Amino acid sequence: MSSDEVRPPIAAAVIVQDGKVLLVKRRVKEGSLSWQFPAGEVEPGETGSQAAVRETQEETGLTVTDVKVLGERVHPNTGRTMIYIACDVVEGTASVVDDEELVEVAWSNSKELIEYVPYPFYGPVQEHLDASLAF
């Protein structure tokens, strides 16, 4: 891949249910990230929201619907453009479906979150979590 070729953005699904947020533990660490939101590359012809919904289904088996785009930024650790999408669960139970990519899934409340992700979230994502997570 040439250095001037633009890599597609990564869409991340921020899924809150019953006051907890869904996190997945990746088999291969991206930068220093291991626990993160279900996420993956936006494919040609797809919106960030569609990618977040698709990746969640592929990785965890959970059917979600996109609610709103929380924000977009270039990730400080990976240099990739990230699109964060708030999603609601439609049906299903989250589990490790894509075992080549994931080793574990977890639902975390606000208090436990720092144990999974020991650094601050992107501002708009943190605001969404502050407003929706139980302590």
Contact by Cβ (8 Å): 16, 129:
yes
Question: In this predicted structure, what is the pLDDT of residue 4?
Answer: 57
pLDDT tens-digit readout, 37-78 = 999 999 999 999 999 999 999 999 999 999 999 999 998 888
pLDDT at 2 over 70: no
Contact by Cβ (8 Å): 36, 105:
no
| Angle, CA 37 vertex, CA 32 and CA 41 arms, to 5° | 85
**Band of residue 13 on the pLDDT scale cut at 50, 70, 90:** very high
Q: Which two tokens stand for residue 23?
A: 């996190």
Contact by Cβ (8 Å): 60, 50:
no
Superfamily of domain 10-110: Nucleoside Triphosphate Pyrophosphohydrolase (3.90.79.10)
Q: Could you tell me what percent of the chain has a pLDDT over 70?
A: 93
For the chain, give every domain's residue range: 10-110
- pTM score of the predicted model: 0.91
